[in-house]
Amino acid sequence: MKNLSLILNIVLLVAVAYLFIDKFSGPKKAKTASEAIPSDSTAIEKPLRIVHVNIDTLHEKSTAYQAIKKQLEKNMQTRRISGAERI
């Protein structure tokens, strides 16, 4: 059992050393600007659209949110009352 642990540790050490050398050895070929951006890219043709959403206004206008909020407030109130009765 001791030998198995030793063998596994050696295998793992060799694997980590290989990965370290592979990752950090020598300079890699850098991509040029023409290689980085494909020529048929549609991202350049379409403008970027940014949208601002005011979540507070959405919550004020949403009836489903208001109903869930009222239900949760009701549950909190009943739990406070039941918690006060225990004391």
Give the integer Cα–Cα distance in Å for 65 and 22: 54
Q: Which residue has the tokens 């005011």?
A: 54
Give the integer Cα–Cα distance in Å for 3 and 1: 5
Give the integer Cα–Cα distance in Å for 24 and 30: 15
Query: Each residue of 57-86: pLDDT tens digit?
Result: 888 888 999 999 999 999 999 998 887 766
Domain boundaries, given as residue ranges, for the chain? 2-26+49-86
The pLDDT confidence band at residue 49, using thresholds 50, 70 and 90, is confident
Give the integer Cα–Cα distance in Å for 31 and 38: 12
- Res. 48: pLDDT tops 90: no
